[in-house]
Structure 1
Amino acid sequence: MSTLNSAIESSPATSRWQRFRDSYLLYSFKRDLVAQLSLIVFIALVACAVLAPWLAPMNPYDLAQIDILASELPPFWIPGSEEAYVLGTDAQGRDLLSTILYGARVSLIIGFGAVALQAILGICFGLLAGYLGGRIDAFLMRLADIQLSFSTLMVAIVVGAVVKAIFGSATFSAYAVPLLVLIIGLAEWPQYARTVRASVLAEKGKEYVDAARTMGLSSRRIMFRHILPNTLSPIFVISTVQVANAIISEAALSFLGLGMPETHPSLGSLIKSGFDYLQSGSWWITLLPGAVLVVLVLVINLLGDWLRDVLNPRLYKG
């Protein structure tokens, strides 16, 4: 029995769990109340978005469930509300709670998808620029510098307008989610590329890289199997912040008419759809989705700040 227990305790899965349990990351997380609350709120928002088809009182995409006569009903705490609509309804008669849940799911899909595309492009370009150097490095970094000289939103607006002009409004609306992932991903890849390049320049002169070259390993294997794992800390920090930036970019594009259509709402398109009704007194159509967007972006940024401090001990003040 003791031999069996020793084997279990020494197994790779157990040792990995023990290393995580005793790690500085978990120790710091236990001491940071803001990070704990932010993670709880973030998990709750993501769970509500993922489970929207089961949690939402109705499907806002189903025209048979929409009652136009019930439009602009106020939330439950305002006189004139109806029990069936806890957070009221929008100008089209859709239940606002349902549209927020479905809209948050769309915003999160676009946010994570855009960051995945940014990371793939930025990591590949950063590895090539930092490891190969020379003309490849000069070309990729000048391309990144040119793009960074403009604001991210401006680049996204230009790319979005061009894509919409090429494919047409109807096609853009039908494939809005993958197109927005493409637009935002192309607009923000230089953040990853410059960070990865700086890390590669610091790593490629170390002994383990020289040893890998001596062994005859290919440049691709050295970059992706040996150098890349040692550059993951800044990538994790950037990814956390970039998810929030991507969600904000999607909301801004939707507000400007270059994002999700009102028939397939995201948090940004919900804010836009209710903006014209603020002066008529139906403030909840815009402010409630806006509040959810602010909370979502805030907790992601707080988690990103905590992760940055933990992964850089010189900044962490305990």
Structure 2
Amino acid sequence: MPPGRWQRFRDSFVLYSFKRDLVAQLSLLVFILMVAAAVLAPWLASMNPYDLAQIDILASELPPFWVEGSDSMYVLGTDAQGRDMLSTILYGLRVSLIIGFGAVLLQATLGVCFGLLAGYMGGRIDAFLMRLADIQLSFSTLMVAIIVGALVKAIFGGATFSDYAIWLLVLIIGLAEWPQYARTVRASVLAEKSKEYVDAARVMGLRSRRIMFRHILPNTLSPIFVISTVQVANAIISEAALSFLGLGMPETDPSLGSLIKSGFDYLQSGSWWITLIPGLVLVVLVLVINLLGDWLRDVLNPRLYKG
């Protein structure tokens, strides 16, 4: 009787290497805890930072519990608007994760499709898509954000950008970064399409779409997984940078980037926690994602594994 999927997973090199890598274990644990905290934010947070009725402006700029003058109601203190810092960080973490994963999903969808077409079809299609990728790479995420933001505000008004800021940032970051996937997938397809199983599929009369998505794509997933972990971290950093520059989430809708920006003007007045604590959360989140990406890269390429 052949082993089941669970048994194959228990015997796999991935699980074996994971058990021997303490850094990967701790990184995954911290990442799971942060994702769980973001998902459960409405139940874990003591207040809803989106609800103006729950904000007490008289309780603004209260320090964390370990600093003199704090209030036991606010463990991490309050910001300049009187919002509980712990609550805003939980909600902001959720917004940053939504943007990070949403943007990577859009990047992967566009990049994988274009990479498969370019690598498998070749010729003019390959040349056109790769030149399109080159053009896209010449525009930074910041430049795309400026162009899209200006167009949205000019056509629909500034209020529209604020109302749909999350999905516009997903669109902006996704459109700015898809060439990373396209180039990698194209290189993998060029190596795979000359192999015998692809020739056998052609002889059997299978359509090109089925050959690309059912036969070639599964053999190119390893680099896609590695890129995705790195790109999630990059998307979160891009959102934070755009929000800090005023091109991302508004201060009334907390994300980690907008929280850092909202407290930046209060550093000199001594309210360092408004910027520093969300900044530390952002650093930890990006760090654990990158560490998991490094481990995954080594595991999926055993020649690099030093376990």
What does 1:181-196 correspond to in 2, within 5 Å?
181-196=170-185
- Give the one of 164, 168, 178 matched to 2:167: 178
- CA-CA distance at 1:48 after TM superposition: 0.4
**So what's the TM-score if we normalise by structure 1?**
0.94
What does 1:1-318 correspond to in 2, within 5 Å?
10=2, 15-318=4-307
- CA-CA distance at 1:169 after TM superposition: 1.3
Are 1:255 and 1:271, in contact at CA under 8 Å, matched by a contact in 2?
yes
Between 166-175 and 154-163, the greater mean CA deviation after superposition: 154-163
CA RMSD across the alignment: 1.2
* Cα distance change, pair 150–183 in 1 and its aligned pair in 2 (3 A): closer
Q: Secondary structure at the match of 2:178?
A: helix
**So what's the TM-score if we normalise by structure 2?**
0.97
Are 1:161 and 1:258, in contact at CA under 8 Å, matched by a contact in 2?
no
Q: Secondary structure at the match of 1:77?
A: coil
Show structure 2 runs of 5+ residues with no match.
Answer: none
Amino acid at match of 2:249: M
Are 1:147 and 1:155, in contact at CA under 8 Å, matched by a contact in 2?
no
Deviations 1:73-105 (A, max 9, x none): 000000110011110000000000000000000
Deviations 1:250-300 (A, max 9, x none): 001111111111111100000000000001110100000000000000000
Q: Secondary structure at the match of 1:314?
A: helix
* Cα distance change, pair 164–250 in 1 and its aligned pair in 2 (3 A): farther
- Taking the aligned partners of 2:175 and 2:148, their CA distance within structure 1 comes to 8
Which residue in the other structure is 1:3 paired with?
A: none
Deviations 1:44-67 (A, max 9, x none): 000000000000011111111100
- Taking the aligned partners of 1:17 and 1:162, their CA distance within structure 2 comes to 50
- Taking the aligned partners of 2:155 and 2:169, their CA distance within structure 1 comes to 14
Amino acid at match of 1:98: S
Indicate the percent of aligned positions where both proteins have the same amino acid. Answer: 89
Deviations 1:108-154 (A, max 9, x none): 00100000000000000000000001111001101111222344444
Q: Secondary structure at the match of 1:231?
A: helix
Amino acid at match of 1:110: I
Amino acid at match of 2:96: S
For these two proteins, the number of residue pairs brought into alignment is 307
